[in-house]
Amino acid sequence: MELNLQPIELEGVSKEHPLIIAGPCSAETEEQVISTATQLANKGIKIFRAGIWKPRTKPGGFEGIGVDGLAWMKRVKQETGMYVATEVATAKHVYECLKAGIDILWIGARTTANPFAVQEIADALKGVDIPVYVKNPVNPDLELWIGALERINNAGLKRLGAIHRGFSSYDKKIYRNLPQWHIPIELRRRIPNLPILCDPSHIGGKRELIAPLCQQAMDLGLDGLIVESHCNPDCAWSDAAQQITPDVLDYILNLLVIRKGHQSTESLHELRLQIDACDNELMEILAKRMRVCREIGTFKKEHNMTVLQTGRYNEILDKRGAQGTLCGMDADFVKQVFEAIHEESVRQQLEIINK
């Protein structure tokens, strides 16, 4: 299905630069909201975020200030001129936000994962023209992400965007949520005119990772950033470890290198031709390897051998992994490549054996 989209253009917000949304994870007190918003506005930030209702993984955490916080968001609009954005997870949240004049809505990762909840929000938004950003679902499922965007779009909303906030995983080594950049990149390929923002705060889960993640998102051509920023991060009621002061945010944004999306220079064209030639060679050599594999398949069939010979497979993975490291490639990457090649070889041999 094609999405019927319109650009999210906000008066006074430059189209030339990455779109920046910033503000605390949660609205906590009126003073915290106004103080953070004022500091951000002084740094030139035009869109303020704050969670009013907070979906928390475990009960007992701060679950959001609720409707009272919407009045503080109104004050932010009046006193700073910023646009204000918050998360909605139910039809009631939608009605309250519309009543309070919230400018931009987003759907959180836990909500996107639930089609019933997304449909309820879509129904509540029918006939309303407001920008909506859809965060990726917690699980790395691109179809679920696109499905949520389709539900909102089917309700008639055209000013849509996506937010990449990483994917949850049992194995939390560096990141709170694994970036799995290939997923937003695939989203870009599937829906080229959909703006995609990156949320480095929820990917990283810690302050030190915000700057490198922002840069990575820009290098991959994403359209903007939504960053958690708090006037006193250490005392934040939610996600304290990943929030940064408006000063630090400003410092990070000033150091960002924004590369041009399109390059027209001759040299880039030349280099792309070289890549195409390499890819052709790769395909030819892969096809040749598969031919040899099929011959081995015939041999195995004639000698009544099993297709999978584990010893040989391990030998290939070890040898090529080590060789990859010597050639400056990541050993895991090389392993993955050979696992994929091996899988296809096995499939082809099984075809021969079962003929």
164 touching ligand PEP, by CB under 6 A: no
Q: Determine if 51 is a binding residue for ligand PEP (CB under 6 A).
A: yes
The amino acid at residue 151 is: R
Residue 93 touches which member of ligand PEP, Mn ion, none, C-beta under 5-8 Å by kind? none
The sign of the CA dihedral 256, 239, 197, 213 is positive
Q: Which stretch binds Mn ion (CB under 5 A): 12-20, 24-32, 88-96, 297-305?
A: 24-32
- Closest to ligand PEP by CB, 199 or 223: 199
Cβ-based nearer residue to ligand PEP, 8 or 236: 236
N residues, the chain: 355
Q: Which of 187, 171, 219, 50 is nearest to 112 (CA)?
A: 187
Among 135, 176, 207, 230, binds ligand PEP (CB under 6 A): 135
Residue 207 interacting with ligand PEP (CB under 6 A): no
When asked if residue 25 is in the footprint of Mn ion (CB under 5 A), the reply is: yes
Site for ligand PEP in 92-111 (CB under 6 A): 108-110
Report the residue number, 106 or 338, with the smaller CB distance to ligand PEP.
106
Query: Stretches 22-30, 109-117, 162-170, 338-346: which one binds Mn ion (CB under 5 A)?
Result: 22-30
Roughly how many angstroms between the first and final C-alpha of the chain, as a whole number? Answer: 39
Give the integer Cα–Cα distance in Å for 241 and 205.
7
Contacted by 146, from Mn ion, ligand PEP, none: CB < 5 to 8 Å by type: none
236-275 residues near Mn ion, rule: CB under 5 A: 239
135 binds, among Mn ion, ligand PEP, none (CB under 5 to 8 A by kind): ligand PEP
Residue 109 binding partner per list Mn ion, ligand PEP, none, with a CB distance cut-off of 5 to 8 Å that depends on partner kind: ligand PEP
Using rule CB under 5 A, residue 217 touches Mn ion: no
Query: Would you say the C-alpha torsion 91, 96, 100, 104 has a positive or negative sign?
Result: negative
Distances (CA, A) of 122 to 8, 36, 115, 175: 18, 31, 10, 31
For residue 4, give both structure tokens.
């019927």
Q: Among residues 204 and 324, whose Cβ is nearest to Mn ion?
A: 204
CA separation for the pair 21, 19 (Å, rounded): 7
Residue 93 or residue 135: which is nearer to ligand PEP going by CB?
135
Q: With binding defined as CB under 6 A, does residue 148 bind ligand PEP?
A: no
Judged by CB, which is closer to ligand PEP: 29, or 325?
29
Q: What is the DSSP letter of 196?
A: E
- Nearest approach in angstroms of CB 251 to ligand PEP is 22
Q: Give a three-class secondary structure readout of 205-253.
A: CCHHHHHHHHHHHHHCCCCEEEEEECCCHHHCCCCHHHCECHHHHHHHH
Angle between helices 30-42 and 246-255 (to 10 degrees): 30
165 binds ligand PEP (CB under 6 A): yes
Q: 25 or 85, CB closer to Mn ion?
A: 25
Distance in Å, CB of 140 to ligand PEP, minimum: 14
Under the rule (CB under 6 A), what is the footprint of ligand PEP? 25, 51, 108-110, 135, 165, 199, 202
